[in-house]
Chain A
């Protein structure tokens, strides 16, 4: 089966750094995505990891360890507009076709 776990809620201070963890179990893993979703809006793509290691893109970085089934999203220099839900999604290729399986999301609140 498939299982993706991430914390439900996190809070952080403007200007700080926050790390959102995600652990997963899936039989047909072929990549991990992070999306940002503001309330009432569709998710927007943040990052993609398929090999172990760190991918950096501006203030956002994402890390993957396939052997541990673990990823994190690192947000630096937090801004108020970063308050949103962050969704960890695993691309699963079980059954010969691939699809994204989403975690429940982590609601991040950034305070002044």
Chain B
């Protein structure tokens, strides 16, 4: 199946710093990628939809100036958490839609990034 990588897998940072997370589709081109956040024992909450070459679409309640998304190529999207605070500590997961599977548009998920803000 399609492979999506994410880097870093874990990051610990001080409050007020910015953290960049990369998401790559390794064996397919993804015009659309998605960023999710998951708190312990909760489900995935969609933060934003990232479209290659255009602005991301943010879900209601997600601050676009705090969570900067860049989708500069068909295989790479980045999420930057700016001025991170302890309440931003969470598991961030990206996914990429594989258009190659006819009519399915299945989303494949990266392994996630565990962010801890001290």
Which B residues fall within an 8 A CB radius of A? 1, 34, 36, 41-46, 49, 57, 91, 93, 95, 104-112, 114
- Contact string against B for A residues 68-112, beta-carbon threshold 8 Å, 1 for contact and 0 otherwise: 000000000000000000010001000001111111110100000
Interface of A (DSSP majority class): strand
> How many interface residues does A have (CB within 8 Å)?
21
Docked pose: A104 CA to B46 CA in angstroms: 12
3 pairs of A and B residues whose beta carbons are closest in the complex:
A42-B109, A104-B43, A102-B43
Q: Which of A40, A41, A103 is B43 in contact with, Cβ under 8 Å?
A: A103
Determine whether A43 belongs to the interface, using a CB cutoff of 8 Å to chain B.
yes
- Alpha-carbon distance A48/B41, docked complex (angstroms): 24
A32 and B104 CA atoms in complex are apart in Å by 11
Query: Are A87 and B44 touching (Cβ within 8 A)?
Result: yes
Known A42-B93, A45-B1, A97-B49: A102·B111 in contact at CB below 8 Å: no
C-alpha gap A10/B1 in the complex (Å): 29
Structural contact, B57 and A97, CB atoms closer than 8 A? yes
Contact A99 B49 (CB under 8 A): yes
Neighbour of A99 across the interface among B34, B43, B106, B108, CB < 8 A: B34
The chain B residue sitting closest to A91, CB to CB, is B105
Q: Which of B34, B44, B49, B111 contacts A41 (CB 8 A)?
A: B111
A residues less than 8 Å from B93 (CB atoms) = 42-43
Q: Which of B43, B46, B112 has the most CB of A within 10 A?
A: B43
In the docked arrangement, what's the CA distance between A72 and B107, Å? 20
The reply to whether A48 and B112 contact each other, CB–CB distance below 8 Å, is no
In the complex, chain A residues whose CB is within 8 Å of the CB of B1: 45
Q: In this complex, what residue of A is CB-closest to B114? A: A40
